[in-house]
Structure formats: structure tokens, C-alpha cells
Amino acid sequence: MITKNDTSSSQPVLTRNDFKLDQPVKWCAGCGDYAILSAVQNALPEIGMKKEDIVFVSGIGCSSRFPYYINTYGFHGLHGRAAAVATGIKIANPMLSVWIVTGDGDSMAIGGNHFIHILRRNIDVNILIFNNKIYGLTKGQYSPTSPKGLITKTSPDGTIEPPFIPGELAMGAQGTFFARALDTEPKQMTDIFIKAAQHDGTSVVEILQNCVIFNNKIHQEITGKDVKDDRVIYLEHGKPMIFGVEHDKGLVLRDFGLQVVRIGENGIAEKDLLVHDAFTPDIALHYLLTRMTYPEFPVATGVIRSFPCEPYDQALERQVIRSMEESRIKTLEGLINTGNVWQL
């Protein structure tokens, strides 16, 4: 088994500065992408990889400019196709730590096919979806995650399409890791990115990101400082599912569904609440947690699912090594001189 998080002591200690570039970053002032970049630069020194063994791959979009702003190997590809490029990189060299940065349009619209298949195969890469629920780079058309009714340049009367919930799609595609983060919570982001890197298999992190120019405050309703504690729950493995300003609300499972309860009401105590198990293979509860939407529920953040399972790239490597060991044919010369060969 190939272990990518090999923190051998001989490696120099890295800091965020090792991942900074002297090139100008060109996102709009106030764009949520800046905070994400910073959180990634904080996370990378913690994942136990040499800086030359890290690759960032992206598609097209504001978010996809990311590789140009971080001092690793980087590949800025085509709209929607980052998953395929990253797959090739990871298969070619499974020792690399491969990251995909993508937008809601890049991953859910034009790249939807690649998105579900990379998850199904469980290629060991980390996917960061910057979900601003809009097409930023092309200046404000609705995206597959735009809430129904959103008025944009291409939906002057409000969209009539129900949106995708990226986590739902990830789990439908047999995703083994899904987390949600807020661009307003740098520490949590960093922590989640580190966990994503540690996971064996495709890790998807959806970041609710604000586009100040074309979809400002789209997440404000839940991420606003004054309301966030009541409208967001941060899930941690092994901890009870508690949220609320007063730390008094929690989640229980009832009638095949989740329910919000208040500690102290109707005889509910903290011990009655669900305890988060991110590592269970059973997808049912992870799925329910992913689907929770305000106002009925708090929106789940943190690592919702992290079920380790052999990645494709490792399985392929194993098959290749085994057949190289077992076969009597070691070179092409051997192959072409085997079978029906005639000496004339």
C-alpha cells in the first residue's frame, strides 16, 4: 500500500510562506477565494508532503485560477475537465498529492460527468469546490447550484431549475469523503483541508464561497456572523451533534429522518443526541446530514463522511506490480517474439 502521508523526520519543516508566490493574485477585492487560498497555504505544511510532490489542477472559472497563485506544481486545464487531468496525474504517479480546485459550474455543469466518475472510481485526489452558486468568470449567469428563483443575467425572471446539492451528488456517486466549509471560517477550513488530504480516496470539500460582484451575500442567510451559530452545525467525528448560540440545540433520528431538538425540552439530554461517526461505511445518515437545509435544519459543515476505501490508483498500481512480477514476458522484445512467429 502506498502511503502518501509519510512524515519522515528528514524533511524540512514547511510553513505557509513556502507556498506563496510573488505573482499578483487577481481576484476581485473582497472575494471569498482569498480566504480559501490562505487556508490552503496554512494546511499544506501540515500534510506531510514535500512541496515538490504537490500538484494543483483546475478547470476554468475564477476559482480555477487558483494554481497560478500557489507555489506548487500547477496545471490550469479546460472548463470542466480538471478531474480527468488529475486522474491522469495521479495514475501516472500515485506518490503525488493531487488537488483539484473547481467551481460550481466547472464541476457540476460542464464537468458533471467527470465529477461523478472520479468519485465512483475513488481516485485519491482532493477536490475543492468553490460554491458561489453563480458563474463568476463569465460575469453572472446562474449555475447548477443557484437556488430556485435566483435572478441572474440569464434568468431575468428567476431560475426555474432546482439546484444540485454537491454533497448529495458526491454520495450518489459513492463518494468516500465529503466535507463542507465556509469561506468565513479559516481555522475550520484549514482543519478540513488537512483531513481531506489524509483521506485515502477522492475527498470532496464544498466551500460556501462569496462572490462579491455577481452573487454577493448568497450564503449570508446562514453564514452571517449574527445567525451562523443557530443555522450551521459543525460536525466532528465522535462528538454529539450540538449547535446553537447557547449550545442547546441538537440532532436526533426519528421516524426515518433527522429532527432538531432542544436540550432540556421534553426530557432531552445531551446523551440523547446523535454522535457523529464520519468513518462508518453506512451512507444513510451522512446523506441525511448533507441534505439538511435552512430553515428546517442547520446546514452541516465539517467532515460529514470519511470512509477509507482502496483508491483506484493504488489498486491499479497493485495489479501492474503483480503482473510484472508474475509474467515471464519482461520486455516488448519478449512479447513480439512470443506466439505465432515464423522463421523464414
Question: Least CB distance from residue 311 to other proteins, whole Å?
Answer: 13
In terms of CB distance, is 206 or 313 closer to ligand SF4? 206
Contact 314, 92 (CB under 8 A): no
Is residue 173 part of the contact set for ligand TPP (CB under 6 A)?
A: no
**Alpha-carbon torsion, ordered 132, 138, 139, 140, to 10 deg:** -50
Question: Least CB distance from residue 46 to ligand SF4, whole Å?
Answer: 26
E strand or H helix at 262: strand 257-262
Q: Where does this chain touch ligand TPP (CB under 6 A) — which range of 126-134, 153-161, 220-228, 236-244?
A: 126-134
Question: What is the Cα–Cα distance from 86 to 202, expressed in whole angstroms?
Answer: 11
Contact residues toward other proteins (CB under 8 A) are 23, 51-53, 55-58, 60, 67-68, 71-78, 81, 83-93, 95-96, 113-114, 117, 316, 319-320, 323-324, 326-327, 329-333, 335-337, 339-344
| Strand boundaries in 18-136, DSSP class E | 54-58, 73-76, 97-103, 125-131
| Strand boundaries in 116-217, DSSP class E | 125-131, 177-182, 203-208
Q: 295: cis peptide before it, omega within 30°?
A: yes
254 touches which of ligand TPP, ligand SF4, other proteins, none (CB within 5 to 8 A by kind)? none
Q: 156: cis peptide before it, omega within 30°?
A: no
Task: Pick the binder of ligand TPP from 32, 48, 61, 67 (CB under 6 A).
Answer: 61
Q: Where does this chain touch ligand SF4 (CB under 6 A) — which range of 1-9, 91-99, 212-220, 322-330?
A: 212-220
Question: What is the Cα–Cα distance from 61 to 107, expressed in whole angstroms?
Answer: 10
Is residue 213 part of the contact set for ligand SF4 (CB under 6 A)?
A: yes
Q: Where does this chain touch ligand TPP (CB under 6 A) — which range of 14-22, 104-112, 197-205, 320-328?
A: 104-112
Task: Pick the binder of Mg ion from 37, 94, 104, 298 (CB under 5 A).
Answer: 104
Q: How many CA atoms, within 13 angstroms, populate the side-chain half-sphere of residue 317?
A: 16
Question: Least CB distance from residue 133 to Mg ion, whole Å?
Answer: 7
Binding string, 113-152, against Mg ion, x = CB under 5 A?
Answer: -------------------x--------------------
Contact 45, 14 (CB under 8 A): yes
Is residue 58 part of the contact set for ligand TPP (CB under 6 A)?
A: no
Question: Least CB distance from residue 174 to ligand TPP, whole Å?
Answer: 23
Task: Pick the binder of ligand TPP from 104, 183, 200, 206 (CB under 6 A).
Answer: 104
Is residue 137 part of the contact set for ligand TPP (CB under 6 A)?
A: yes
276 touches which of other proteins, ligand TPP, Mg ion, none (CB within 5 to 8 A by kind)? none
Three-class SS state of 203:
strand
* Bridge partners for 208 per DSSP: 131, 182
Please report where in the chains the cell 432546482 appears, as a residue: 162
**Cα 217 to chain center, whole Å?**
22
Question: Least CB distance from residue 209 to Mg ion, whole Å?
Answer: 8
Contact 97, 47 (CB under 8 A): yes
Contact 215, 132 (CB under 8 A): yes
Give the closest residue to 83 by CA, choosing from 67, 97, 100, 70.
100
29 touches which of Mg ion, other proteins, ligand TPP, none (CB within 5 to 8 A by kind)? none
Binding interface with ligand SF4 (CB under 6 A): 27-28, 31, 33, 62, 132, 136, 211-214
